[in-house]
């Protein structure tokens, strides 16, 4: 038997123990209370060599802590996922390794649910054991749990779980952010140390962040046509653009095609109408109407990235009114390192997350903003996407009024 402790003194932590558990195993049986996306990704990486079709896992949606996205990822990987069906508190953390014959060979027991913090930084304790008596008892216990005291997830139960999780996650996030605002931190003092609660609460907010980060403007074509003004310039001079040869002209035509304005050397119906437009606002309304009405099949053939645009435009108008008003007021001309830009970036970034962010207030976004500049506080599952956005897409075209113009145009189109 080995004692498992998440300490930094050379003691085996839960992540390392999981690696030992799966060494030589065929598959696992897992009973945990709560499952988060970060925990699933860590678990999936550690168990990718195992037989997932034979793997069984029972979790619970009690208290709205298990993230539906994590359950869906586990189901997509082929794991037999079930939800505890009893009306009493479900709180186990049991990991059983099985050989090819299905016999349990090793177990990991302790306090760690399937979250990244629980397996690395939280104060947790457990044991890794090969005791045959314990393995026999746990095997019988898990078989009974899986077959008689749990039920398979269904599309309907996942929808209900999503609704409960969203309400609970938003409440947790608001409470956490309110507590952070009430902290009195002296000027120039270092930020408070990272706690597991920091990471778990931020994951509630960021868990569903999409990998393809969308912007609240027309910057979806590439590196040449990033704003409405540049598109109008090319439209006004289209005869020359269509006749020119060389790399620059080809790129301009390609990017105008990406935005729906052109097809080869010819303007589309949208492009012809936009070429006659007198203002950026008129071009934006034409483009948003086209984007709203084009079929998904046509859009997939033309520019799949524009699905992202539609998604984030819709999400923006579902945010709280004070959040929307702030964004529309300050978006144009905000400086890169200003407090306003940090908040604007946070709003734009979280338009790529799911419905839980719709319940956050402007104060909540302002509290989240400085946390994004501290990469170690961002859940590992989305850290690269957030950093890439802040270093690249999130720095572009703020000098133009495009974000305000396009968002107002989208609202007009949606009625």
What is the chain's pLDDT, residue by residue, as a tens digit (415 residues)?
A: 899 998 767 678 899 999 999 999 999 999 999 998 888 989 999 999 999 999 999 999 999 999 998 999 999 999 999 999 989 999 999 999 999 999 999 999 999 889 888 888 788 899 999 999 999 999 999 999 999 999 999 999 999 999 999 888 888 888 888 888 877 666 666 666 666 666 667 778 887 788 889 999 999 998 899 999 999 999 999 999 888 888 888 999 999 999 999 999 999 999 999 999 999 999 999 999 999 999 989 898 888 899 999 999 999 999 999 999 999 999 999 988 898 999 999 999 999 998 889 999 999 999 889 888 777 777 777 888 899 999 999 999 999 999 999 999 999 999 8
**What's residue 336's pLDDT?**
86
The verdict on pTM exceeding 0.75 is: yes
Residue 259, both tokens: 């935005």
**What's residue 176's pLDDT?**
83
Residue 5 β-bridge partners: 125
**What's residue 52's pLDDT?**
95
What is the H or E stretch that residue 109 is in? strand 104-110
Quickly tell me which residue has 């195993």 as its tokens.
25
Residue 95 β-bridge partners: 30, 108
- In the DSSP assignment, the letter for residue 193 is P
**What is the CB neighbour count within 10 angstroms for residue 138?**
21
**Residue closest to 326 by CA, chosen among 407, 385, 396:** 407
**What's residue 190's pLDDT?**
66
Domains of the chain: 2-153 (3.30.870.10), 186-220+303-415 (no CATH), 226-285 (no CATH)
C-alpha span between 61 and 84 (Å, rounded): 8
**What's residue 194's pLDDT?**
60
Task: Write the CA distances from 330 to 222, 333, 410, integer angstroms.
Answer: 25, 7, 18
**What's residue 247's pLDDT?**
83
**What's residue 191's pLDDT?**
63
Detail the DSSP E strand segments found in 111-241: 125-129, 150-152
CB neighbours of 16 closer than 8 A, spacing ≥ 6?
Answer: none
């Amino acid at each position: 038997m080995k004692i498992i402790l998440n300490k930094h003194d050379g003691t085996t932590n839960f992540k390392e123990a999981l690696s030992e558990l799966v060494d030589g195993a065929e598959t696992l049986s897992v009973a945990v209370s709560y499952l988060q996306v970060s925990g699933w990704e860590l678990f999936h990486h550690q168990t990718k060599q195992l037989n997932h079709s034979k793997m069984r896992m029972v979790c619970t949606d009690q208290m709205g802590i298990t993230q539906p996205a994590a359950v869906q990822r586990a189901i997509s990987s082929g794991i037999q996922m079930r939800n505890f069906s009893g009306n009493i508190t479900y709180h186990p953390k049991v990991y059983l390794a099985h050989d090819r014959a299905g016999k349990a060979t090793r177990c990991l027991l302790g306090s760690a649910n399937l979250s990244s913090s629980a397996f690395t930084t939280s104060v947790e304790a457990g044991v890794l054991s090969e005791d045959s008596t314990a393995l026999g008892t746990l095997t019988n216990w898990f078989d009974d749990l899986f077959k008689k005291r749990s039920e398979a997830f269904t599309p309907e139960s996942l929808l209900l779980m999503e609704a409960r999780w969203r309400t609970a996650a938003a409440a947790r996030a608001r409470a956490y952010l309110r507590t952070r605002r009430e902290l009195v931190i002296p000027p120039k003092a270092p930020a408070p140390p990272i706690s597991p609660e920091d990471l778990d609460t931020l994951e509630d907010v960021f868990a569903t962040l999409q990998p393809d980060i969308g912007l609240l403007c027309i910057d979806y074509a590439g590196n040449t046509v990033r704003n409405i003004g540049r598109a109008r310039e090319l439209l006004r001079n289209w005869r020359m653009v269509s006749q020119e040869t060389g790399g620059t002209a080809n790129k301009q035509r390609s990017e105008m095609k990406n935005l729906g304005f052109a097809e080869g050397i010819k303007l589309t119906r949208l492009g012809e109408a936009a070429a006659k437009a007198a203002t950026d606002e008129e071009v934006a309304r034409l483009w948003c109407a086209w984007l709203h009405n084009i079929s998904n099949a046509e859009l997939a053939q033309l520019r799949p990235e524009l699905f992202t645009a539609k998604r984030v435009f819709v999400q923006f108008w579902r945010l709280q009114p004070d959040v929307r008003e702030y964004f529309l007021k300050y978006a144009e001309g905000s400086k890169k390192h200003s407090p306003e830009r940090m908040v604007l970036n946070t709003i734009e970034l979280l338009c790529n997350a799911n419905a839980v962010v719709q319940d956050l207030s402007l104060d909540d976004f302002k509290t989240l903003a400085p946390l994004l500049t501290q990469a170690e506080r961002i859940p590992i599952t989305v850290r690269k996407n957030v950093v890439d956005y802040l270093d690249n897409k999130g720095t572009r075209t703020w000098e133009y009024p495009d974000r305000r113009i396009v968002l107002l145009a989208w609202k007009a189109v949606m009625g």
